[in-house]
């Protein structure tokens, strides 16, 4: 090597002898890299969230890296997205782990697992600081998947959902055909429901036609966009079936590792930035749309009775014990989560004041 290159000459394509010639093609590839990312969302607030992440990446990279966001089913079906990223048919995907949980029930623990007294914020804390990311990567390796993932956007607990009548007791749920996804399907089956797993856009038509009797998706804004208020007037908030969830942004590992380190860092830290933006943005929208459902669409909104949620926790115990006995890795993840939640939630439960008491003081 007879010439020492600085970064500017490298990016301009200055050639050097020896090893520098071999490095040049990889670096030239950094000029104007475009990644095709498919979202699991055809529209609505979740597609807005995906676009928000993409916008952050595109702006932070200064044109060196661009993500082209495609809506649901643009290239492959939602159930095929992870495989498409693995094979390089897609460069990236924006969805939730529950959408590929058929490969491993442990996938659902990364977002839609049992509630150990924690919220989505604390589960993300476990992912980043409690060993969750290492366990996720171990799962990817065991499944032979060529992907790199980041997690963001702590979702509030999902509503129990829409029913034909008010639910005051868990016995009313037995035999109902109900839509949900992930491990929640196992839990509600344990409670005597008949579970159907459908993508979001098919929920309202299925309930309208009678294919299902009750359903949940995720939040008041999406439910209102789907038109759930046109097929039911009974909406139950609060549930342990999916009391925490967040997005997974996944990239083809080979494509990701070919990027310059600073571009890899942008993909990672844009995800962390979107974490805060999602919570601020979506919480406001959800609360506003809940009011509209009540005042403009005549929806009766209830808080799910504690007795129903207690039965959900019992069902979770049965499901977790059964799968843990069949899957050592699943059991390993559960134990890691419990250890984190026991310590962190002990502090938070002791330290956090009763916010509901303060709300009642001011607003009744």
pLDDT > 70 in the chain, percent: 91
- 155-207 per-position pLDDT tens digit: 999 999 999 999 999 999 999 999 998 899 999 999 999 998 887 888 999 99
- Alpha carbons 359 and 184: distance in angstroms, whole number: 31
**Confidence category of residue 66, pLDDT binned at 50, 70, 90:** very high
- 258-304 per-position pLDDT tens digit: 999 999 999 999 999 999 999 999 999 999 999 999 999 999 999 99
Binding site for substrate: what residues are annotated?
Answer: 158, 179, 216, 242
pLDDT > 90 in the chain, percent: 86
Contact (Cβ atoms closer than 8 angstroms) between residue 145 and residue 82: yes
Supply the pLDDT for residue 5: 35
Report whether pLDDT(152) > 70.
yes
Q: Which two three-digit tokens encode residue 322? A: 């059964």
How many other β-carbons are positioned within 10 Å of the β-carbon of residue 151? 25
Which residue pairs from 290-298 have beta carbons closer than 8 angstroms and sit at least 24 positions apart in sequence?
290/220, 290/237, 292/224, 293/220, 293/223, 293/224, 293/229, 293/235, 297/224, 297/229, 298/229, 298/233
Q: Mind listing the domains of the chain with CATH numbers?
A: 22-157+244-283 (3.40.190.170), 158-242+300-325 (3.40.190.10)
Q: Which two three-digit tokens encode residue 331? A: 């059991």
In the predicted model, what is the mean pLDDT of the chain? 91
Binding site: what residues are annotated?
Answer: 158, 179, 216-217, 242
Mean pLDDT on 238-251? 96
Report whether pLDDT(245) > 60.
yes
Binding site for Na(+): what residues are annotated?
Answer: 217
**Confidence category of residue 30, pLDDT binned at 50, 70, 90:** low
**Confidence category of residue 312, pLDDT binned at 50, 70, 90:** very high
- Alpha carbons 94 and 76: distance in angstroms, whole number: 13
- Alpha carbons 136 and 62: distance in angstroms, whole number: 31
- Alpha carbons 349 and 347: distance in angstroms, whole number: 6
Supply the pLDDT for residue 283: 97
Q: Which residue has the tokens 């992912």?
A: 127
Supply the pLDDT for residue 3: 38
Mean pLDDT on 3-19? 33
Residues 6+ apart with CB under 8 A from 294: 300, 301
């Amino acid at each position: 090597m007879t010439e020492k290159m600085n970064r500017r000459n490298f990016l301009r394509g200055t050639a050097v002898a020896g090893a520098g010639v071999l490095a040049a093609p990889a670096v030239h590839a950094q000029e104007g890299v475009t990644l095709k990312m498919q979202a699991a969302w055809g529209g609505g607030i979740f597609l807005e969230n995906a676009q928000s992440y993409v916008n952050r990446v595109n702006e932070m990279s200064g044109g060196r890296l661009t993500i082209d966001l495609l809506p649901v089913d643009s290239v492959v079906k939602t159930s095929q997205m992870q495989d498409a990223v693995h094979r390089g048919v897609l460069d990236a995907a924006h969805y939730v782990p529950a959408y590929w949980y058929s490969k491993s029930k442990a996938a659902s623990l990364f977002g839609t697992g049992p509630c150990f007294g924690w919220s989505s914020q604390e589960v993300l804390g476990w992912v980043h600081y409690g060993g969750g990311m290492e366990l996720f990567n171990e799962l990817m390796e065991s499944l032979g998947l060529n992907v790199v993932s980041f997690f963001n956007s702590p979702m509030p607990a999902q509503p129990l959902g829409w029913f034909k009548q008010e639910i005051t007791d868990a016995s009313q749920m037995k035999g109902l055909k109900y839509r949900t996804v992930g491990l929640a399907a196992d839990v509600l089956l344990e409670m005597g429901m008949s579970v159907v797993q459908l993508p979001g856009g098919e929920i309202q038509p299925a309930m309208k036609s009678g294919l299902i009797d009750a359903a949940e998706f995720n939040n008041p804004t999406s439910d209102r966009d789907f038109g759930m208020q046109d097929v039911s007037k009974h909406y139950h908030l609060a549930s342990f079936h999916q009391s925490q969830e967040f997005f997974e942004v996944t990239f083809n590992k080979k494509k990701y590792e070919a990027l310059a380190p600073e571009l890899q860092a942008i993909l990672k830290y844009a995800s962390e930035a979107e974490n805060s933006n999602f919570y601020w943005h979506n919480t406001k929208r959800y609360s506003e749309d809940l009011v509209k459902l009540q005042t403009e669409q005549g929806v009766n909104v209830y808080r799910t009775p504690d007795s129903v949620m207690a039965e959900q926790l019992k069902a979770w115990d049965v499901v977790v014990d059964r799968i843990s006995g069949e899957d050592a890795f699943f059991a390993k993840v559960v134990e890691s989560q419990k250890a984190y939640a026991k310590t962190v939630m002990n502090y938070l439960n002791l330290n956090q004041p009763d916010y509901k008491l303060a709300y009642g003081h001011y607003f009744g």
